[in-house]
Amino acid sequence: MPLHPEYDAMLRQLAEVDGPPLVDLPVQAGREMYRAMQPEAGEIAVGSIEDVDAAGVPARVYRPAGDGPFAVTMMFHGGGWVIGDLVTADCQSREVCNGAATLVVSVDYRLAPEHCFPAAADDCYAATGWAVEHAADYGGDPRRLAVAGDSAGGNLAAVVAQMARDRQGPTIAFQLLVYPVTDGVHFETASYRDNGDGFLLTADSMHWFWNHYAPNVEDRRNPYASPLLAGDFSNLPPALVMTAEFDPLRDEGEAYAHKLEAAGVPVELVRYDGFIHGFFGQTRTIAAARPAMEKACMALKAAFAA
């Protein structure tokens, strides 16, 4: 399909601004730019919000209105493990909290290059363990637990699911993987070739992210960095994998879904034709992105009801 008209207009507007590419910015400037692009969404009301210390990892708990106990969804933000924080994940956290009627624990994991692999993965796994232990304090039901994330956050959700399987807990009921990063070794896919420039997320920026997160190239072969390179995909939680047509990460996300399916894991793969990377957090600005968010929330609700 052609690029969706809303995304075509957005990319044209960004081109007119003609700002420096992310790879040419100092890391801190990149973080500030991303935060400006993804501000908090206070207009989306939820029952309550509380900042917490989740086993030494800063996190934010979103509680839906009404009476619990609520299922628990861990939310890991995108941003290439280098940029992004609780602010940039605020909109999607509120949307999922309301749309899936779930407690959302958004995790402010350590960022690279100050903290390289495996810091982010370790933080997300630790925070997930904390959430299981403390969910009841916030009206949550730890027996209904999901991991979710977009881009690098999708990577971390897949990795935490693998960690939980390998370490015998906690039990995860579902994984929501939105255009996940799954492979830090192979960059020759058709989606990298066709979508590596001109669609917001570029091939150059992905190399920039990986060079900060896992500067030791051998680390990228570790399945907890590149979950697509795992030797075993069995006994992982059911998954919804969402990809975008005009995204360099499309093929590796879809390859991960196929690996899960081949291992007997229930998985639904949905490609959003005409979309670019980033749609999960754009429900306020791109109307076409709303059905994707609704799909994600419905999948979470169905998993929690199973």
Q: Which of 4, 108, 123, 151 is catalytic?
A: 151
Q: What whole-number distance in Å separates Cα of residue 247 and Cα of residue 236?
A: 25
Q: Is 305 exposed, middle or buried (0-12, 13-18, 19+ CB in 10 A)?
A: exposed
CA of residue 38 relative to chain centroid, distance: 14
Q: At what angle do helices 152-166 and 119-134 cross, to 10 degrees?
A: 70
Q: What whole-number distance in Å separates Cα of residue 11 and Cα of residue 146?
A: 33
Residue whose entry in the numeric block shows the structure tokens 């939980």? 164
> Is 247 designated active site?
yes
Q: Are residues 159 and 148 in contact, defined by beta-carbon separation less than 8 angstroms? A: no
Q: Are residues 81 and 154 in contact, defined by beta-carbon separation less than 8 angstroms? A: no
Across the chain, the runs of DSSP E, i.e. the strands, are: 48-54, 57-63, 70-76, 102-107, 140-150, 174-178, 239-246, 267-276
Q: Are residues 198 and 11 in contact, defined by beta-carbon separation less than 8 angstroms? A: yes
Which helix (H) or strand (E) segment is 202 a member of? none
Tell me the three-class secondary structure of 6-51, residue by residue.
Answer: HHHHHHHHHHHHCCCCHHHCCHHHHHHHHHHHCCCCCCCCCCEEEE
Across 182-294, the runs of DSSP E, i.e. the strands, are: 239-246, 267-276
Q: Which of 122, 150, 247, 251 is catalytic?
A: 247
Q: Which of 4, 77, 212, 277 is catalytic?
A: 277
Coil, strand, or helix at residue 54?
A: strand
> Is 207 designated active site?
no
Alpha-helix residue ranges (DSSP H) falling in 38-183: 90-99, 119-134, 152-166
> Is 258 designated active site?
no
As annotated, the active-site residues are 151, 247, 277
